[in-house]
């Protein structure tokens, strides 16, 4: 980077402020806890499955529809176990309605976003795990606002349940893939995120019944948390936001690198792939004249190939999306093409990610939850 580049001003923040915990919700409870809660409310345990069926299987969040429950109980159950966690502030669509960005207000006023993306054969939902983010990557809109707080398991799951409800009402579709690539650093909110993954992958009616393989957790590279996830043995896909193959540059554009270096992050990702047999994605946002030089493609290939050649990894190049006030811009097409060519020549499978949603600021790194986009 040039000498004149302004230096980073935002600090790295790990511990989320302990503000107004969101109310406990059905989706925060384990299956046994749900039964206990219903019994404690003076009702037979089987009511727990009835409630779960409505919420996780039928995506019915309106107690008036819970007709197999005594009418007098519905409102009480709703009030006790299903406090509203996400209030829709705004929904914007583009790509002929195939991309929809949702802005949510949480109980304490914090704003977060999720994005639904419909493809011909699947629907992917990009969800948030924190209000804001403390990782301070200077090219990302979310990082600019700092970290407000961690989201709870139920707040995280509610985004997906809402997506399911929308699709079911529209055309009977489902959310097939979930990517933790919205606001926040999921591994800095480890417990709630893993809890959410468990609820999503628990078979219906106790959970959303999704395949772990359809879930991607994307991280800046919190090495101890990646290692912990390796031990969980849940076969979710891991994405590592690398963005630079060398420590000198990565220290600047992904500040967590001052804590855990490229080599350590890549080793942790490699171990994850080895143990889970899930191919890891390396995310690399292409920034003009910053990280897109041909020699960096060669460096990236050797960093990845050093860990063996058994198809453990593939590279996702993300054409950088615009962030207001950012000094970073998108790479030239010819530089991206050369970058891909060099990686593939060295046997590293590479794709250029589409830039879904950029006209409504719904693309990677553009989620700022300000709600002021026209």
Catalytic residue numbers, as ranges = 113, 364
Using Cβ positions, the residue closest to ligand SAH within the complex turns out to be: 365
Tell me how far CA of residue 17 lies from CA of 83, 109, 372, in angstroms. Answer: 22, 14, 25
According to DSSP, the residues that pair with 119 across neighbouring strands are: 122
Work out how close the CB of 185 gets to ligand SAH at its nearest, in angstroms, rounded to a whole number.
4
According to DSSP, the residues that pair with 91 across neighbouring strands are: 102
291 counts as binding ligand SAH under rule CB under 6 A: no
- Rg (Cα) of the chain, in Å, rounded? 21
Measured from the CB atom, is 27 or 367 closer to ligand SAH? 367
Q: How far apart are CA 81 and CA 254, in angstroms?
A: 40
Closest to 139 (Cα-Cα) out of 374, 363, 372, 369: 363
Work out how close the CB of 221 gets to ligand SAH at its nearest, in angstroms, rounded to a whole number.
8
| Chain residues 310-329 in contact with ligand SAH, contact rule CB under 6 A | 318, 320-321, 323
Measured from the CB atom, is 299 or 352 closer to ligand SAH? 352
DSSP string of 65-113, one letter each residue: G-TTS-HHHHHHHHHHH-----EEEEEEEEGGGTEEEEEEE-TTS-EEE
Tell me how far CA of residue 101 lies from CA of 14, 322, 360, in angstroms. Answer: 27, 17, 8
230 counts as binding ligand SAH under rule CB under 6 A: no
Measured from the CB atom, is 28 or 283 closer to ligand SAH? 283
Work out how close the CB of 330 gets to ligand SAH at its nearest, in angstroms, rounded to a whole number.
8
Q: Which residue is listed with tokens 């970073």? A: 328
Residue range at the interface with ligand SAH (CB under 6 A); choices 41-49, 154-162, 214-222, 304-312:
214-222
300 counts as binding ligand SAH under rule CB under 6 A: no
Tell me how far CA of residue 2 lies from CA of 249, 254, 275, 290, in angstroms. Answer: 11, 17, 40, 9
Structure tokens at 344: 């593939």
Measured from the CB atom, is 38 or 297 closer to ligand SAH? 297
- Site track for ligand SAH across 174-193, x = CB under 6 A: -------x---x--------
Task: Quote the distance between the C-alpha of residue 86 and its chain's center.
Answer: 17
364 counts as binding ligand SAH under rule CB under 6 A: yes
Residue range at the interface with ligand SAH (CB under 6 A); choices 32-40, 133-141, 156-164, 224-232:
133-141
Among 283, 291, 317, 336, binds ligand SAH (CB under 6 A): 283
Contacting positions for ligand SAH (CB under 6 A) = 135, 137, 139-140, 181, 185, 218-220, 241, 283, 285, 318, 320-321, 323, 364-365
């Amino acid at each position: 980077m040039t000498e004149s580049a302004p230096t980073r001003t935002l600090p790295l923040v790990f511990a989320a402020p302990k503000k107004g915990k969101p109310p406990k919700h059905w989706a925060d409870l384990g299956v046994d806890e749900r039964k206990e809660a219903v019994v404690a409310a003076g009702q037979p345990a089987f009511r727990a499955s009835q409630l779960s069926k409505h919420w996780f299987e039928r995506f019915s969040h309106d107690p008036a529809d819970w007709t197999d429950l005594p009418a007098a109980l519905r409102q009480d159950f709703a009030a006790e176990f299903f406090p509203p966690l996400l209030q829709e502030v705004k929904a914007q669509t583009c790509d002929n309605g195939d991309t929809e960005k949702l802005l949510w207000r949480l109980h304490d006023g914090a704003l977060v976003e999720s994005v639904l993306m419909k493809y011909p054969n699947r629907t992917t939902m990009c969800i948030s795990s924190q209000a804001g983010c403390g990782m301070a990557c200077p090219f990302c809109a979310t990082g600019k606002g700092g970290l407000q707080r961690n989201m709870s398991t139920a707040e995280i799951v509610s985004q997906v349940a809402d997506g399911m409800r929308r699709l079911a009402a529209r055309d009977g579709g489902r959310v097939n893939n979930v990517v933790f690539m919205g606001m926040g650093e999921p591994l800095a909110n480890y417990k709630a995120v893993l809890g959410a993954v468990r609820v999503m992958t628990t078979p219906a009616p106790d959970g959303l019944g999704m395949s772990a393989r359809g879930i991607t957790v994307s991280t800046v590279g919190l090495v101890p948390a990646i290692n912990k996830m390796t031990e969980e043995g849940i076969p979710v896909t891991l994405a590592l936001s690398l963005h630079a193959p060398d420590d000198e540059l990565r220290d600047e554009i992904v500040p967590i690198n001052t804590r855990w270096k490229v080599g350590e992050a890549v080793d942790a990702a490699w171990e994850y792939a080895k143990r889970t047999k899930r191919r890891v994605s390396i995310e690399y946002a292409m920034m003009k004249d910053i990280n897109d030089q041909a020699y960096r493609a060669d460096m990236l290939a050797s960093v990845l190939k050093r860990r063996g050649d058994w198809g453990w990894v593939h590279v996702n190049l993300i054409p950088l999306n615009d962030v207001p006030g950012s000094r970073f811009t998108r790479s030239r097409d010819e530089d991206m093409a050369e970058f891909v060519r060099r990686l593939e020549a060295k046997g590293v499978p590479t794709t250029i990610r589409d830039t879904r949603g950029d006209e409504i600021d719904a693309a990677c790194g553009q989620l700022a939850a300000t709600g002021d986009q026209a």
